[in-house]
Structure 1
């Protein structure tokens, strides 16, 4: 019997929401704040649970990246991974990952964020990745998600599609939000907000 660990990415491995940081990095802070003002009704609707996570995310993706070439977008994501991402990775998360590796765990990131700004980092760390995928038409981003946003129950569906969990004696899950709770329920040992600093 083997051991496997599933990690949420945003807020668990990182200290910030990476979608917001990627928008700032690729479009600049002025465009970022302008875009959020323009899309405020959608964001308020999401906060009030009147609009789904996927619809709200697609609205932001379409506003900021819809029509962009996938090659230029990916170049921006790679630059973000190289320059900004290391600054928002929790040291505690890195220590936990290394400890689990030493204990023989297979480690997989399961994220609602698109794989475009995670995979290069996860590959460099020797980690598996299950993440949201973006729709591309021709060589352009449509602003829509391909399939479903990898959040909440979709995380469980995607995990079970890729892994036979009955083959694992130990299943560790790490998360920090309501969107992770379905995944945490799969665990033999669950960690909720395990890396938060308590002041």
Structure 2
């Protein structure tokens, strides 16, 4: 083997990047958290009220992120942040029951190989992080919520972490990717259209839908 290639291989930074909903989990955690925090009756009633916006999204008139923020705001605007985070911490036990065994095996393989594990999701970071901490995963990038004076405003403080925003968030975590992309080997896992750009950016992109 050429000594230059060998040196580059040994110095390569290996990243394993996982989408969350539908990839690590079998179900959508955004919907799951709303049901968990508000109960089935309010969950059903809330989505009935939100149904016109959901229809406009399905018709392509409204963007995914806009509708998602409206739904989030309807359920969580005005909630005390401490209460919200308490619910998010408790939700990790529900997430554990939603795990996909095949992807959890892949995740463990990457850990054993010494790869850096990153979760990048369109879901809200607050309920992903407690579960990730149980798995010794420190790097999580997701949609961020806006809090003022200890209360949720119902808005997001970041762009919806979907599509190209997933690549942007990965580069924010590893700024050297912008100028030294060849120093990184990225393996990515996703299950939906929102992961296409991330899978294309990776050296190895795995569609697991």
Any gaps of 5 or more consecutive residues in structure 1?
none
Richer in helix (by share): 2
Any gaps of 5 or more consecutive residues in structure 2?
1-11
Residues 128-181 of structure 1 show CA distances to partners (whole Å, capped at 9, x for unaligned) of 111111001111111110021111111111111221232644210100010000
Residues 99-131 of structure 1 show CA distances to partners (whole Å, capped at 9, x for unaligned) of 011112111000111111010111221221111
Structure with max Cα Rg: 2
From 186, 191, 199, the counterpart of 2:206: 191
Measure, in 1, the Cα distance between the counterparts of 2:187 and 2:151. 38
- Cα RMSD (Å): 1.1
Which residue of structure 2 aligns with residue 174 of structure 1? 189
TM-score (structure 2 length as normaliser):
0.89
Measure, in 1, the Cα distance between the counterparts of 2:79 and 2:30. 16
Query: In the alignment, is the contact (CA less than 8 A) between 1:134 and 1:144 conserved in 2?
Result: yes
Structure 1 outlier segments of 4+, above 3 Å: none
- Write the mapping of 1:139-178 to structure 2, written as runs, cut at 5 A: 139-163=150-174, 164-165=176-177, 166=181, 168-178=183-193
Query: In the alignment, is the contact (CA less than 8 A) between 1:4 and 1:168 conserved in 2?
Result: no
Which residue of structure 2 aligns with residue 114 of structure 1? 124
Which residue of structure 1 aligns with residue 74 of structure 2? 63
Shift of 1:184: 0.6
